[in-house]
Amino acid sequence: MKRIDGGVTAPKGFLAAGLWAGIKKEKKDMALVYSTVPCTGAGVFTTNVVKAAPVKWDKLVTEQSPYVQAVVVNSGVANACTGAEGYQYCVDMAQTAADQLGIAKEAVFVASTGVIGRQLPMEKIKAGIKSLVPALADGREAAACAAAAIMTTDTKPKEIAVEVELDGKTVTVAGMCKGSGMIHPNMATMLCFVTTDAAISHTMLQKALSDDVADTFNMISVDGDTSTNDSVLLLANGQAGNAEITAEGEAYDCFCAALHKVMTELSKMIAGDGEGATCLFMAHVKGAESKAQARTLAKSVICSSLTKAAVFGHDANWGRILCAMGYSGAQFDPEKVDIWLTSSAGSLKIVENGTDTGYSEEFATEILSQEEVTAVCDVKMGEFEAVAYGCDLTYDYVRINGDYRS
């Protein structure tokens, strides 16, 4: 597997565009991703009872459409809690894109992100779509424009592309995503779009996606708030020329490894760019007796406000880590737990069998001062492990969310 420079246009046959349609004040706010040939589509969506209109539409497309070919996205307004009127606007978005592209509206995924409760400004949206279609292009720049256009409070665009060999053919998997606040995915995260030129059946594509989110997007949390708009959409257009993957086996595993790399790196980008964050904070739980236990423990640590504030303060306050494991709902013996802090500055064992190792606070602070920090927690019960992705809790998180709408 090889990581390459590129975004959603890296796989063969994918075009993209991003522009400012006037929904947000000054920043790009609409994106379009389009495949020159029909794609197999898969999706995973928020488990929030309150589902945005585009989530309802995309679920229908995923389950019922024979193929998909485009994704149209706006940022600035989430089209959530907007009733029947909002749903009609969502369908209108799909219809407008379909008309401009000359495809069926059922082949168009729609995604929205931004403020909840407001209606979409449909004149601007329709005009935006009409400008997006002629702007579609392949290449690095077009992908970057699309990645920029889906951002809200994100401080940087989030893109990745990797290549793998399948049947002697080069298969590319690429993705972009946005997400910075209201991040506590449960089946999916804010918005993520993955493109690939692999040939793969709908069943295997959906399986690959659904299985992988459990270890990637579902292991992120910025603030414990599960969004109404969470969606991960995956489009595969078969242009790589590999023999279609229709069952588990070597080719499927190879594709899944590439997908996992893309989804893991995008997950880390989301967590590390969490609202107000100064660092990516990961919890790596080892020695668990089941995968589920490892995930529960890891996620509880990165969700703890007290732990996150301590990481911001570069304070090795390990009692908060052990405390968060303790209230996670998972059973373990706290008096057997070892905890290390690791980062590019080094690794330090701070807890052994549930009590303080008498470590150097100075070195711990140095480790905690890096841009990526991991707490490794060994519960000594078995062979399973999991990693969860979070960030620190800072003044800026409060600032950003205290006056988000003003």
Which residues inside 15-54 make contact with its own copies, applying CB under 8 A? 47-51
Which stretch in 78-86, 126-134, 135-143, 259-267 sits in contact with its own copies by CB under 8 A? 78-86
Place of tokens 């492990």: 385
What's the rounded Cα separation, in Å, for the pair 300 and 321?
9
Residue 307's CB: how many other CB atoms inside 10 A?
27
CB of 168 to its own copies, least distance (A): 46
Which residues inside 264-303 make contact with its own copies, applying CB under 8 A? 303
What's the rounded Cα separation, in Å, for the pair 393 and 253?
37
Q: 148: closest CA among 53, 258, 16, 29?
A: 29
Q: Which residues are catalytic?
A: 189
CB of 292 to its own copies, least distance (A): 16
* Using rule CB under 8 A, residue 74 touches its own copies: no
* Using rule CB under 8 A, residue 382 touches its own copies: no
Of positions 36, 38, 92, 116, contacts its own copies by CB under 8 A = 116
In the bound state with its own copies, the residue whose beta carbon lies nearer, of 19 and 23, is 23
In the bound state with its own copies, the residue whose beta carbon lies nearer, of 216 and 229, is 229
Cα angle 17, 20, 21 (rounded to 5 degrees) comes to: 105
Mention every residue, 6+ apart, whose C-beta is less than 8 A from residue 231.
43, 44, 45, 46, 54, 55, 58, 111, 188, 190, 191, 192
Which stretch in 124-132, 144-152, 324-332, 369-377 sits in contact with its own copies by CB under 8 A? 324-332
Cα angle 225, 194, 401 (rounded to 5 degrees) comes to: 25
Cα of first residue to Cα of last residue in the chain, in angstroms, is 45
Number of residues that bind its own copies (CB under 8 A): 67
Identify any residues that bridge with 377 across adjacent strands, giving them in sequence order: 285, 339
CB of 56 to its own copies, least distance (A): 12
CB of 287 to its own copies, least distance (A): 16
Residues of this chain that interact with its own copies (CB under 8 A) are 47-51, 78, 80-83, 115-118, 181-182, 184, 186, 223-228, 303-306, 309-310, 312-313, 315, 317-320, 322-328, 330-332, 334-335, 351, 353-356, 393-395, 397-406
